[in-house]
Chains A and B, each alone.
Chain A
């Protein structure tokens, strides 16, 4: 038996829609089996994971709250990845955005005007963009691989934050505990009455159609794709790969930085040693789960958040281990990637490599 892939002439639009559902179905099936093996009622467990978090309004708000930063960061990363620039240091850009954006409330706490918050958001973007600019600089100037530099810079950013919050930026009234002073109302994002949903989440979701328009309808968006898919053609078309490297890394850095300051000026309300449960890393998964497409990223961000919330719910009601949430996420990503193959290829199983394959086999694969 041999597995054979035959490239389709054009991506199958039928499969494009069906693949994610197949992946979800396979994930549900496999995790159901795992739950059963671990001695849990698979139906109850699956309900807790994928449905329970959607049955209450507060929980839906929380879902959006968790998905917001993931989506915003992933939108930026998608631009990079489209251009074949592997920024995996969004966690650092997120952190640096939070640090830069926190300059007004921490160093100038008395200055509260209508301009404070906008300035914080802008500084957040600047911080993220500058920090994303470092791997761009190192890549353009020294050809240093950005996978390595952006990742190392992420670790460094976390330590810088740690230093600031435990040292110079520590709250003078906080009994020497590692927290900055609390942000005042003028320094925080407004929230929806009765929830933690803040304006930033609105910004994150509004960014989805904007990015879709940018990527698919503008020349600049097109440039990123061309550079990624055919670098030589891009050079002929007059796109400078240096400029695009800076642009991609700084743009994705800016979005991650914005997500960072909005997390700090939103639900957290102060600067502290831990401000992110790994948003920058999880967003890489969101970007790929969403196939680097803004709408897909939105759905992927929601789905991944759902699995976090569901994992928590299952831990409480069923006593299911928290590690299971990660296993489910890993499986989901595996299946999405595997099923995506069906979009681009016919998949056939051949009994013998020398014998020509029968067309019915691919039909069977499609029907499954």
Chain B
């Protein structure tokens, strides 16, 4: 028993040596970025939504709508950029529906988010029925000269499609806006105490609508990434729970944009790592391997949650609570 365990440890060690070898690592990094980008996009958007005090559990629904619309438009126009744009706008559209109910009608946010997921999955399936059996148009990479030839990270980060670049730009933009600008201050104040923000003359509902729409844009783009880059095809339910992972990543990130990006990369990294471990022949049941990303997320969250100071500082206090302005 003990002997087996040691031989397993040796196997594990040799796997890690293998993964970090210069021949394998660059390819691994490329795939990790691909796996993480849709989650990072959706998570960053949701982070802004939650910072405004709104919990939108409908990320999965917005993502899948984004995926199908992006696919359809790029197929129809032959232009995947238009497709990605349309996917983003479709995300905004579905988000505004959610926003109207939760922000203006003060409906329960958790339940409305679930309704959005149901509706999104159903509608996307309906829209996509005519795309069955049709290959799509792929969003091609834009190589950035010089940077793309940096060893290891060059091909992974600087020889990618526009959505990867955009995901970094969005995270940087959100981080800057949220902590360095007045808009960000107002947004955070709204999520912290909507009544107080209202008393200061802020239009809480408009701010929240804006945040919700931004969340929809990001989720739609994340969906577009699935059907335009990861696989140039449309299939029903192709988001396969990635919207839920994005939601989890926001909590994991303690509502900090760069941490959300890191969380998405950690999650994507574990997914890719377990695939490589299987291909390498590590003798662990595949179910246990497929559990790893989920277990890793829980463990990481537990470790982060122990730092209560950070948690308390960043958790939007009004999260999930409806706000109704008095007259």
Listed in ascending order, the chain A residues whose CB lies under 8 Å from chain B are 3-7, 81, 86, 138, 142-145, 147-149, 151-153, 155-156, 159-160, 162-163, 166-167, 284-285, 288-289, 321-331, 333-334, 337-338, 340-341, 344-345, 347, 356
Contacts and interface: CB of A to CB of B under 8 A. Distances in A.
18 contacts: A4-B327, A138-B298, A143-B311, A145-B251, A148-B248, A151-B244, A152-B294, A153-B298, A156-B291, A163-B285, A285-B118, A288-B111, A331-B119, A334-B119, A337-B108, A338-B101, A341-B105, A347-B105
B142 interface: no
Interface stretch (B13-21, B69-77, B121-129, B170-178): B121-129
A148 B118 contact: no
Contacts of B116: 330, 334
A337 B115 contact: yes
Contact of A144 (B101, B122, B302, B327): B302
B308 interface: yes
Contacts of B297: 148, 152
Given A330-B116, A334-B119, 10 more contacts: A3-B105, A142-B302, A143-B306, A147-B247, A148-B248, A166-B287, A285-B115, A288-B108, A337-B101, A341-B105
A345 B106 contact: yes
Contacts of A345: 106, 324
Contacts of B97: 334
Contact of B114 (A145, A156, A285): A285
A7 B247 contact: no
Interface of B: 61, 97, 101, 104-108, 110-112, 114-126, 129, 236, 241, 244, 247-248, 251-252, 285, 287-288, 290-291, 294-295, 297-298, 301-302, 305-306, 308, 311, 324, 326-327
Given A333-B118, A341-B107, A327 B288 contact: no
B106 A341 contact: yes
A133 to B, nearest CB: 14
A163 B305 contact: no
A5 B244 contact: no
Nearest to B116: A330
A149 B301 contact: yes
- Sorted nearest first, the 6 A-B pairs with minimum C-beta distance are A330-B119, A326-B122, A323-B125, A288-B111, A330-B118, A333-B115
B290 A159 contact: yes
B320 to A, nearest CB: 8
B122 A148 contact: no
Contacts of A167: 285
Contact of A323 (B123, B285, B291, B327): B123
Nearest to A149: B298
Contacts of B61: 330
A156 B290 CA distance: 9
Contacts of A160: 287, 291
Nearest to A7: B324
B286 to A, nearest CB: 9
B114 A333 contact: yes
Contacts of B123: 323, 327, 330
B319 to A, nearest CB: 10
Among A4, A5, A6, A152, the one with the most B-chain Cβ atoms within 10 Å of its Cβ is A152
